[in-house]
Amino acid sequence: MSRDGKRGAVLFDVDGTLVDTTYLHTVTWWEAIRQAGHRVPMSRSHRAIGMGSDHLVPHLIGEDHDPGEGERISAGHRTLYAEYWTRLAPLDGAADLLRACADRGWTVVLASSAHRDELEAMRRALGAEDAVSGVTSADDVDASKPAPDLVLQALDRAGPSAGRVVFVGDSVWDVAACERAGVPCLGVLSGGISRQELLDAGAAEVYEDPAELLDRLDDSLLAKP
């Protein structure tokens, strides 16, 4: 996807892509669902991470659940996950990757399916506000990933002068949202999804983690904006 203008935009997922949270979400979603009386294998919970809660809950417990129950499960997850906020840690190379992209002339935008308060906790852990030009969260859209709304909203945050656009994410849901929005997606393996699965979903390139993408920046789609 492209727009008129010279300054490219790189959109970053945050959970599992920049901050090491995927397995914290796996455990806390599993526990919130268990407390609601459902049994979902943790492996299924893990593979749903990257969806927003509006998609994740029906994906895991069924479309025919009571809406109030879905809200209680989501609230339970947020309460359980909040216990980790002060202990969140960025993935190796994540902050330096954002700064390297900004230094090369990219407009850096964070595009997270997390709610705004969760995203703020991750931004504090990441510590790279000097490189970030815009932020969008699940609170800014009607439908989260794998719907394209979050990617499109992030494009708006990048501004009308954004030229070439690239997304960086760790899940097949990121890739699906990008495909629907017409934006190429670079995958990272730090969320625990395999290289082949990301490629099969449509990822343009796949890297081990932010540190490897940073090391190979000159050979990637992020070489020049």
Query: How confident is the prediction along the chain (225 residues), in pLDDT tens digits per residue?
Result: 444 455 799 999 999 999 999 999 999 999 999 999 999 999 999 999 998 888 899 999 998 778 789 899 999 999 999 999 999 999 999 999 999 999 999 999 999 989 999 999 999 999 999 999 999 998 898 888 888 999 998 888 887 555 689 999 999 999 999 999 999 999 999 999 999 999 999 999 999 999 999 999 999 999 988
Q: What is the pLDDT of residue 160?
A: 56
The two three-digit tokens of residue 36, written as one number: 């609601």
* Residues 21, 26: Cα–Cα separation, whole Å: 9
Q: What is the pLDDT of residue 159?
A: 72
Which structural domains are found in the chain, ordered by start?
A: 7-21+88-219 (3.40.50.1000), 22-83 (1.10.150)
Chain-centroid distance, C-alpha 80 = 20
